[in-house]
Structures are given as C-alpha cells and as structure tokens.
Amino acid sequence: MALFSMKLENLQQLFVKELRDLYDAETQITDALPKLIEAAHHPELKQALQEHLRVTKQQISRLDRIFQMLGEKPTGETCKGMKGLIKEGDEIASQGGDPSTTDAGIISAAQRVEHYEMAGYGTVRTYAHLLGRPEMAQLLQQTLDEEAEADQTLTQIAATVNVEAKAA
C-alpha cells in the first residue's frame, strides 16, 4: 500500500503527506498563473503575477530539495483545496466586464491562494522543527516569507484597483 493511502501513524508521515499536497498546489498554481496574467489589465498586477510565477517555480525546486533530503518522491497527493481556489479564480478571470473590477476579482482570488499556501507552509515548517529538521524548516520559512510578500504586494495593488473598480 502506498504511503499516501495509508493511515497516518506519525508526524513524519503527516509531514510528507502535507508536503506532497503543497507540491501539487504549487504545480497547479504554475499552470493557472499564465491565465490570470493574460486576464489582468493593471500593469502592476500583471507584473506581480509574473513575478509570482517565477517565484513559484523556485518554490517547487525548494520542495524538490526537501523531498530529496527525505528520500521521498513528491507525487501521490492531489491538493483539492487548491483545485477549488483556482477554479474560482478562473471563473472570475473569464467573466469579462469592467477591467478594474476583473482585476479586483483576480486580486481577491490570488490572495485566497496566498493565504491557503501560508497556512500550509506554516504548518509544515512547524512539523520540520518538531521532527528535528532545521534545514527543511529554514527552506519552508523562506517560502512562507515569499508567500507573505506576495500577499502584501497584492494588498498594495488592491488599494488602487479597488478604488478604480468602485468608480466603474
């Protein structure tokens, strides 16, 4: 029986399961971001999404390193939560309408994704500490910091975009 379909017997198994979930989430984000970039109108939003796509690819590489350290493969877990968040973002981006309102919706969807990721990375970082893996905890903290930075950037862009959407 594969690890991802076994009962969770210890924190190590849960740690690997959650890492696989995050790996799949990041892969889904990498596939979804180009659509949001194309749908975005505000130049700063487009730039922020493009930058986050670049950073997300680095985050996947970081997760690859962690799996290598663990002697595990990063496969076998589908992140259903991210699937739902991405579906909502796709719906907003494809509805059309006022460009500023679309951008405000894209920001809202992207921030939901960021908060979901921050919750996941904060949890696995804590697990890494508890499991005596400070090098993994440091890598996971780096990603957590990047997610928080992306969220902050989106909040700053929203300050302008939301006002424009209100005026529409």
Q: Is the pLDDT of residue 3 over 60?
A: no
pTM comes to: 0.93
Q: What is the pLDDT of residues 69-108, one digit of tens each?
A: 999 998 878 999 999 999 999 999 999 899 999 999 999 9
The predicted model gives 38-46 an average pLDDT of 97
Whether the predicted pLDDT of 1 surpasses 70: no
Average pLDDT, whole number, for the chain? Answer: 95
Show the 3-state SS of the chain. Answer: CCHHHCCCCCHHHHHHHHHHHHHHHHHHHHHHHHHHHHHCCCHHHHHHHHHHHHHHHHHHHHHHHHHHHHCCCCCCCCCHHHHHHHHHHHHHHHCCCCHHHHHHHHHHHHHHHHHHHHHHHHHHHHHHHHCCCHHHHHHHHHHHHHHHHHHHHHHHHHHHHHHHHHHC
Condensed to tens digits (0 to 9), the pLDDT of residues 113-124 reads 999 999 999 999
- Report the CATH fold assignment for 11-167: Ferritin (1.20.1260)
